Amino acid sequence: MKQVEDNKTTGKFTWNYRIVNLKSENGGDDWYCLTEVCYDMNDKPTGYSTPCLGSDSMEGMRNVWDMMGEAMVLPPMQEEDFK
């Protein structure tokens, strides 16, 4: 499930957790990372975050955990998906 955000500069976008294969971070070899992936309103991936976990509350952390579980059932994305 994607979360909807509103950015004053770029407008609405969605994001979710996804596994991204960041080969450039590992000398060209596979390097799977859990990241936040942002999409434009046409559902095209536009970028991803550095791997991190955090929340400002335990309820929020449970939501993060649930969303990460959803990422595990989706196919891994590749860096090329963001070009």
Report yes or no: 39 and 50 within 8 Å, Cβ to Cβ.
Answer: no
Task: Please state whether the predicted TM-score (pTM) of the whole model is above 0.75.
Answer: no
Q: Which residues contact 41 (CB under 8 A, 6 or more apart)?
A: 11, 12, 13, 14
Q: Is the pLDDT of residue 7 over 80?
A: no
Report yes or no: 21 and 76 within 8 Å, Cβ to Cβ.
Answer: yes
Q: Is the pLDDT of residue 78 over 90?
A: yes
Residue-wise pLDDT tens digits, 24-65: 888 998 888 888 899 988 889 999 988 766 666 778 878 888
Range of the structural domain that residue 62 is part of:
3-82
| Domains held by the chain: number | 1
